Amino acid sequence: MSSEAPNGIWKTVQMVVTVKAYPAMSNKYGESVCVAGVRTDTETPEFIRLFPVGYRDLPSSSQFKKYQHVSLRAKKGSTDRRPESWQPDLGSLVLGDTIDTSRKWRERWELLRDLAGEGTTCEIRSRAAAVGQNSKSLALIKPADISGVSISENPDFDERTAAAAQASAAPDLFETEKEVLKAAPYKLRYDYRCQHRSCKGHSQSLIDWEVGVAGLKWRDGKAGDVRSQLERKFYEEMCSREKDVHFFIGNQHQNPGSFMVLGVFWPPVGSRPEDSLF
Ligand SMILES: [Zn+2]
């Protein structure tokens, strides 16, 4: 890890955000979001994770989007030892351009092509389970096949978490009030096999911000059966045969052998830069 600064030393990093998880409540950090992306200031692209990010507390001018270039100060923390994890100084955020999907996702492919398909879920997971936090904890894997999604109801926050969410939403001297965080109403898991030749299959939750928001919106909008809407969007559309679908996977800090799908990369089939001859 040539780009790592020693623990505790602030460094300016440049990256493109590719993952923004649904906000979680923790005793230690309050409401926070796991953000990950790709460094653009290193010789070869590498993944970076920012935590904690109190995303909804950021001024709207600092609320970056996925695929937006950002620059900020960050340091390696002492508790999260995963190689990609940095602690951000959110006051230093500077936002740049957002990479769109015009030109058949060409620019997004240029960002991700060297990382896409590097390793399989089976290998990365078993290494992290054996080695712990000092092991690769973020990847963009190419599933061999996705057999479906399982959608289940996600319970509301328990009393203690609901109280913490309420407290976190209360305005302080400088902030305007934000909406109290609600639990994502549905849990969506992808059932898939990775490219490992003896893969027996994985069933991993998708924790993308968009799933939580879609579940809330469709539940409150009387737009019919929410489960089938979620399945249509996150499986039938995003994982259709016309998409060259990849999963951003990442593990849990306290449980390195446990991986989730953090987000989906779903460019059209045939859009890889090397696929185009002209
Ligand atoms: Zn596998």
% the chain with pLDDT above 90: 82
Instruction: State the distance from the centre of ligand 1 to the C-alpha of 106, rounded, in angstroms.
Output: 28
Instruction: State the distance from the centre of ligand 1 to the C-alpha of 191, rounded, in angstroms.
Output: 11
Q: What is the pLDDT of residue 223?
A: 60
Instruction: State the distance from the centre of ligand 1 to the C-alpha of 253, rounded, in angstroms.
Output: 21
Q: What is the pLDDT of residue 229?
A: 94
Instruction: State the distance from the centre of ligand 1 to the C-alpha of 149, rounded, in angstroms.
Output: 16
Residue 171 pLDDT exceeds 90: no
How sure is the predictor about 141, in pLDDT bands with cuts at 50, 70 and 90?
very high
Instruction: State the distance from the centre of ligand 1 to the C-alpha of 276, rounded, in angstroms.
Output: 29
Q: What is the pLDDT of residue 140?
A: 98
Enumerate the β-bridge partners of residue 255.
Answer: 252
Instruction: State the distance from the centre of ligand 1 to the C-alpha of 233, rounded, in angstroms.
Output: 24
Residue 175 pLDDT exceeds 70: no
Q: What is the pLDDT of residue 245?
A: 98
Report whether 115 contacts 42 (CB < 8 A): no
Instruction: State the distance from the centre of ligand 1 to the C-alpha of 141, rounded, in angstroms.
Output: 10
Report whether 15 contacts 38 (CB < 8 A): yes
Q: Which two tokens stand for residue 114?
A: 């060297």
How sure is the predictor about 5, in pLDDT bands with cuts at 50, 70 and 90?
low
- For the ranges 44-53, 139-148, 163-172, 262-271, the lowest mean pLDDT is seen at 163-172
pLDDT in tens, 215-246: 999 887 766 689 999 999 999 999 999 999 99
Using only C-alpha atoms, what is the Rg of the chain? 19
Instruction: State the distance from the centre of ligand 1 to the C-alpha of 111, rounded, in angstroms.
Output: 25
Q: What is the pLDDT of residue 2?
A: 45
Instruction: State the distance from the centre of ligand 1 to the C-alpha of 193, rounded, in angstroms.
Output: 5
Instruction: State the distance from the centre of ligand 1 to the C-alpha of 197, rounded, in angstroms.
Output: 8
Query: What is the SS3 assignment for 12?
Result: strand
Instruction: Give 175 or 251, the one with higher predicted confidence.
Output: 251
Indicate the fold that domain 11-102 takes in CATH.
Answer: OB fold (Dihydrolipoamide Acetyltransferase, E2P) (2.40.50)
Domain boundaries, the chain: 11-102, 104-275
Q: What is the pLDDT of residue 258?
A: 97
Report whether 201 contacts 190 (CB < 8 A): no
Q: What is the pLDDT of residue 1?
A: 46
Give mean pLDDT, residues 14-34: 93
Q: What is the pLDDT of residue 222?
A: 66
Q: Is 225 exposed, middle or buried (0-12, 13-18, 19+ CB in 10 A)?
A: exposed
Alpha carbon distance 260, 53 (integer Å): 19
User: What pTM does this model have?
Assistant: 0.94
Instruction: State the distance from the centre of ligand 1 to the C-alpha of 72, rounded, in angstroms.
Output: 35
Residue 104 pLDDT exceeds 80: yes
Instruction: State the distance from the centre of ligand 1 to the C-alpha of 135, rounded, in angstroms.
Output: 17
How sure is the predictor about 275, in pLDDT bands with cuts at 50, 70 and 90?
confident
How sure is the predictor about 26, in pLDDT bands with cuts at 50, 70 and 90?
confident
